[in-house]
Structure 1
C-alpha cells in the first residue's frame, strides 16, 4: 500500500515468509488428513508437524494441542463447566479478570449467574487479594486471566495467580494470544491448565488457533461434534494449509524471540520518550512490566477516532484499542476497569510494533503525532481563551 507504516501489530500481523511458503505448499495437498491412503497420510504429516512446532513453542507435548478456527473459538472451547484435573473436583463457576478479551468476558458455556470478575489495579494488573476473596470457601472455579493485555500490554502475575487458583482446587485458563511470540512462554512455568493461542498474532494466517491442555485435565466437551478429528475434541475437516502455516510461524517466532524482544524494547523506549514531549501525555500501565511492542497512550481532550484518522492520513496505521471493538465509539473496558473516566478511556490510542518496525518508522510516527498534538493543543487554547 505504498509508503505506509504499520503500527497495529496487536490487531494482526503481516504473514511471515515461512508461513506464506507453508500455505502455498500445503494448498497443493489433495488428501483429507483423516484418510488412510498416501495422500491422506501426507496431509496428516503436515498437521502433526505443525502440532509439534506449536507444542514446542509453549513447552508441552503435541498430544495436548487442539487446533481451532482461531483464538475466539479456542477461548470458547476452554470456558466450560465440568473441567477437572486428575481426580479433583469439577469446576462449577467462572472467575475472569475485568480486562479480558471480549471472547472471555462473554463467558463461554457458563451462564451469567455463574460468572464473577476480578478487579485490577490502576496499573492494569489483577488484584490478587480480590482473587483470593472470590475463591475462598466457594465451589471450585475455572479462573481466566490473560498473560498480557492486548490494549495496555501489561503482563499479569500468572504464576502467582496459578498458585492461588490451585490452592482453592480450581483450574486456570490463560489467554496467551497477545503474549505468544513476544515474550518467553513455558506452560509449566505459568501454571496454566488451559492455554489459548492464535496464529495471526505471530505471523501466521487469520482463522487458525489452538487450545493447549496441561497433563491431567479432563472433562473437555467439544463445541463442534461430528467426526473424530482432534481426538474428538474439535470436529471438522482440518484446515491443513492454515495449520501448517501456524506451525511455520510458531517456529519462526521462537527462533527470532531472543533478539527481537530486546530490539522492540529499545524501540518502545524511543517511542514513549518522544510521546512524552507532549505535555500531560499518559502512557497506560507504564509502571508495570509490559510487552515490549505495545504502547497505549492519550492526552486530555484527545478523541481516539480523530487521532486514528489523523495518523491514517499521514500514512500510519494505528488503533484505538482492541481491534474487535475499535470500530465502536465507546470507552475501553480495560481502562474503565483500571479506574479511568470515560473521557480518558475513550481517547486512548494504541501503537504496537513488530519485526519489520525500524527507527525510521518510530520517527515518522512521532512526527505525525507532533502535528496532531499541536493541532489539539491549539484548539484547547482557543477554547480556554
Structure 2
C-alpha cells in the first residue's frame, strides 16, 4: 500500500470533484458560445467563480481564472496595474526571500527594480526592512508592489500578511499575496489580509490540475492580461476556458468551505507525528505554521537518500531541496533562514491532507524512525 504525504505539491482529487469533472467533460461546448450548450458551460464557469470568491471573501466579479498559481503570479508581476480604469506605473518590486520561484523571479520586472525582503531564522519576513523600503519609495515618489506569500510551501510558516497589508496601505503601495497554500488549511479572507491581489491554485485543495485564479480585492483593481486575444474572462485572460478544471476547482472550493473541522483533524495528526518522530529537527516550529505541514531533518543524512528509502518503503514525501538539472541543492528557503548546511541537506517536507488517516501517520512514523536509525548506523560504521 502506498501512503501519499505530499499534499503541498498537489492534493489528490476529492471524489466529489472527480465526479464533477467527469460530468463536465461530457459537456462538449465552448463557454463563449451563445447556444444552449455554450450557456451550460458558461454556467459552470460562473458557478465556480462565485464559489472561489466565497472561499476567500471576495466579490464574484473579482475572480479571473488562469491555468494555475504560477500563471496568476506572472500576470500580476508587471510594472503597472490598473486602479479605477487608470494605469499606475510600478517602480519597485519587494518580495520576500522565501517566496515561490514564480514570485521570486520577479515576472516582468527588471532585476534592478527588485528588492529582496530578508527573513529571520524562523522564516518570518523583516517588517522593519519592508517599512524602510516602502518609506524610501514613497519619499522618492516611487510606487511599490509587495509580494509576500500567505504560507510557505516548504516549511508551512505563516507570514504576518495582515501587518504587510497595513504597511502597504500606509505607504500607498500595492500588495500581491500568493495564497496558494492557504485554502483548505486555513480560513482566508482577502479583506483581512489586505492584499490587492490574491493568487490561488486548484490542485492544492483537492481540485484538478490546470486551474488557478487571480482574486482582486474589488473590481476597482485590474491588470494587463498576460495572454491576449479574445475577450474571455472579461478580457483578463484570452483563450477558451478549461471548463472541466474550472468546474472542479469550484466544487473543491465549496467542499472545503463546508468542512472547517477538517483542519483541526489534520493539525492533530501532524502534531502527533512530530511528537513521535525521533532524532529530527522540525524547522519553523517556533512560529505559526500551516496545520498540515512539517519540514523535518535528520542532521547528517541527505534528503535524497531518505527520499529514495521512503519511496521504496511506499511513502511519498518531498525534499526541502530544489532540483535543478538533475542535481539536488539546498533549498533557497532554508538558505534564507540561515539553516545549517548539515540540517538543510537532510530537510524533508511531509504534508498531510484530506485523505490522510491516523493509521497512515502511524505507519509513516514507524517506517521513518526505523529507516533513519538504520541509515545513521550505516553512516557511523562507514565513518569509522
TM-score range, shorter chain: over 0.9
Give the deviation of 1:17 after TM superposition: 1.4
Aligned with 2:177 (options 174, 179, 204):
174
Distance (whole Å) between structure 2 residues aligned to residue 75 and residue 340 of structure 1: 27
Distance (whole Å) between structure 2 residues aligned to residue 347 and residue 327 of structure 1: 17
Per the alignment, do residues 57 and 324 of structure 1 end up closer, same or farther by CA in structure 2, a change over 3 Å counting?
Answer: farther
Match of 2:120 in 1: 121
Contact 1:50 1:244 survives alignment (8 Å): yes
Give the deviation of 1:347 after TM superposition: 1.6
Give the deviation of 1:367 after TM superposition: 1.0
Distance (whole Å) between structure 2 residues aligned to residue 236 and residue 108 of structure 1: 21
Match of 1:378 in 2: 377
What is the RMSD of the two structures over their aligned residues, measured on CA atoms?
1.8
SS, match of residue 381 in structure 2? helix
Distance (whole Å) between structure 1 residues aligned to residue 148 and residue 61 of structure 2: 24
SS, match of residue 195 in structure 1? strand
Distance (whole Å) between structure 1 residues aligned to residue 324 and residue 51 of structure 2: 31
Q: Deviations over 1:138-166 (max 9, x none)?
A: 12111000000000000111000111112
Alignment of 1:25-174 (within 5 A): 25-86=23-84, 90-138=89-137, 139-174=142-177
* Structure 1: 5+ residue stretches without partners: none
SS, match of residue 329 in structure 1? strand
Distance (whole Å) between structure 2 residues aligned to residue 204 and residue 301 of structure 1: 37
Distance (whole Å) between structure 2 residues aligned to residue 81 and residue 118 of structure 1: 19
Match of 1:212 in 2: 215
Per the alignment, do residues 178 and 323 of structure 1 end up closer, same or farther by CA in structure 2, a change over 3 Å counting?
Answer: farther
Distance (whole Å) between structure 2 residues aligned to residue 162 and residue 327 of structure 1: 38
Alignment of 1:1-385 (within 5 A): 3-86=1-84, 90-138=89-137, 139-215=142-218, 217-218=220-221, 220-256=223-259, 258-275=260-277, 277-278=278-279, 281-321=280-320, 328-383=327-382, 385=384
Per the alignment, do residues 53 and 9 of structure 1 end up closer, same or farther by CA in structure 2, a change over 3 Å counting?
Answer: same
SS, match of residue 80 in structure 2? coil
Count of aligned residue pairs for this structure pair: 379
Contact 1:84 1:171 survives alignment (8 Å): no
Distance (whole Å) between structure 1 residues aligned to residue 190 and residue 20 of structure 2: 26
Give the deviation of 1:167 after TM superposition: 1.2
Per the alignment, do residues 214 and 326 of structure 1 end up closer, same or farther by CA in structure 2, a change over 3 Å counting?
Answer: farther
Distance (whole Å) between structure 2 residues aligned to residue 85 and residue 100 of structure 1: 25
Q: Deviations over 1:259-279 (max 9, x none)?
A: 11111111111110112x32x
Per the alignment, do residues 102 and 322 of structure 1 end up closer, same or farther by CA in structure 2, a change over 3 Å counting?
Answer: farther
SS, match of residue 196 in structure 1? strand
Distance (whole Å) between structure 1 residues aligned to residue 327 and residue 264 of structure 2: 34
Give the deviation of 1:383 after TM superposition: 4.8
Contact 1:331 1:343 survives alignment (8 Å): no
SS, match of residue 67 in structure 1? strand
* Structure 2: 5+ residue stretches without partners: none
Distance (whole Å) between structure 1 residues aligned to residue 334 and residue 190 of structure 2: 28
Q: Deviations over 1:262-310 (max 9, x none)?
A: 11111111110112x32xx210000000001000010211100110111
Q: Deviations over 1:54-111 (max 9, x none)?
A: 0000011111000001111011011111115457954222110000001111111111
TM-score by length of 2: 0.95
Distance (whole Å) between structure 1 residues aligned to residue 329 and residue 51 of structure 2: 39
Per the alignment, do residues 326 and 25 of structure 1 end up closer, same or farther by CA in structure 2, a change over 3 Å counting?
Answer: farther
Contact 2:59 2:218 survives alignment (8 Å): no
Distance (whole Å) between structure 2 residues aligned to residue 209 and residue 219 of structure 1: 17
Distance (whole Å) between structure 2 residues aligned to residue 299 and residue 197 of structure 1: 32
Distance (whole Å) between structure 2 residues aligned to residue 326 and residue 204 of structure 1: 29
Per the alignment, do residues 216 and 356 of structure 1 end up closer, same or farther by CA in structure 2, a change over 3 Å counting?
Answer: closer
SS, match of residue 243 in structure 1? helix
Range with bigger deviation, 95-104 or 217-226:
217-226
SS, match of residue 115 in structure 2? strand
Range with bigger deviation, 289-298 or 318-327:
318-327
